[in-house]
Amino acid sequence: MGVIKVPLPPQDTNVFQAAWGYITTILKGLFVTKMILVKQLFKLEKTETIEWPEEPADYGPRFKGKHFLTKRDDGNVRCTACFLCATACPADCIYIEAGEHKSKTIEKYPVRFEIDILRCVFCGFCEEACPVDAIRLGPEYIMLPADGTKWVYTKEYLVARTNLNGGIQSIKDEEEKHPEVTSLTHESKHHRSLVKHGKH
């Protein structure tokens, strides 16, 4: 196959004409910025700027913010250390150490439950994967604490920080250890099962 020679693109010999195009475009952009500034100064149009943190931001009801762990009726953490949230996490930011619970009705509990908030992508997969409604993403959007050093959320912080007002109870029944399982169609009932989660 032969080599096809492509001619060089035509050169713009008029440098002043090319420069004029750049200059006029920049001036148009500056003019738009200046008009917005004048309208904001003289209150000719409503501003959408939020004076944060003096004025809190208002997010929708489905906003997924800072994580928290729910509690049982006895005040202990609801988590059973099943590792489903850590397995579902695409950022691999959840670390759990399981321990044997004192109560015979509860198999395990998390000795350590930590979330590296700098790696979290706030996808909500941990919330959806949890079968006992132990972890949720709440409406808080301020991630940086007052001291500016706490980027790894511990179990104690996730259960009972100040904004949680002493902790949040789970919405699931205390006696419900495992969600209801129903079979799928006849060709797949021997391989998979559908888990019905409670309402979040």
User: Is position 78 within any domain?
Assistant: yes
Look at residue 189 and tell me if it is in a domain.
yes
Q: Is residue 168 part of a domain?
A: yes
97: left (phi over 0), alpha (psi -120 to 50) or beta: beta
> Looking at residue 174, what is its pLDDT?
63
Compute φ and ψ for 111, nearest 5 degrees.
Answer: -70, -40
Across the strands, what pairs with 136? Answer: 68
- CATH code of the domain in which 83 resides: 3.30.70.3270
Report CA torsion sign: 159, 92, 181, 99. Answer: negative
The whole-number pLDDT of residue 115 equals: 94
Q: Over the chain, what is the mean pLDDT? A: 81
User: Percent of the chain scored above 90 by pLDDT?
Assistant: 40
- Cα–Cα distance, 77 to 56 (Å, whole number): 30
Q: How many folded domains does the chain comprise?
A: 1
Residue 45 lies in a domain: no
Contact of 92 with 126, CB cutoff 8 Å = no
pLDDT recorded at residue 187: 40
Q: Which range marks the domain in which residue 99 is found?
A: 67-193
- Give 189's contacts (C-beta < 8 A, 6+ positions apart): 183
Q: Is 32 within the bounds of a domain?
A: no
How far apart CA 45 and CA 42 sit, in angstroms, is 8
* pLDDT at residue 176, as a whole number: 58
Residue 23 domain-assigned (yes or no): no
Query: For 86-134, how does the pLDDT look when each residue is reduced to its tens digit (9 = 90+)?
Result: 999 999 999 999 999 888 778 899 999 999 999 999 999 999 999 999 9
Asked, for residue 62, whether it belongs to a domain, the answer is: no
In a domain, 156, yes or no: yes
The 10s digit of each residue's pLDDT in 138-178 is 888 888 765 555 789 999 999 988 788 777 877 777 665 54
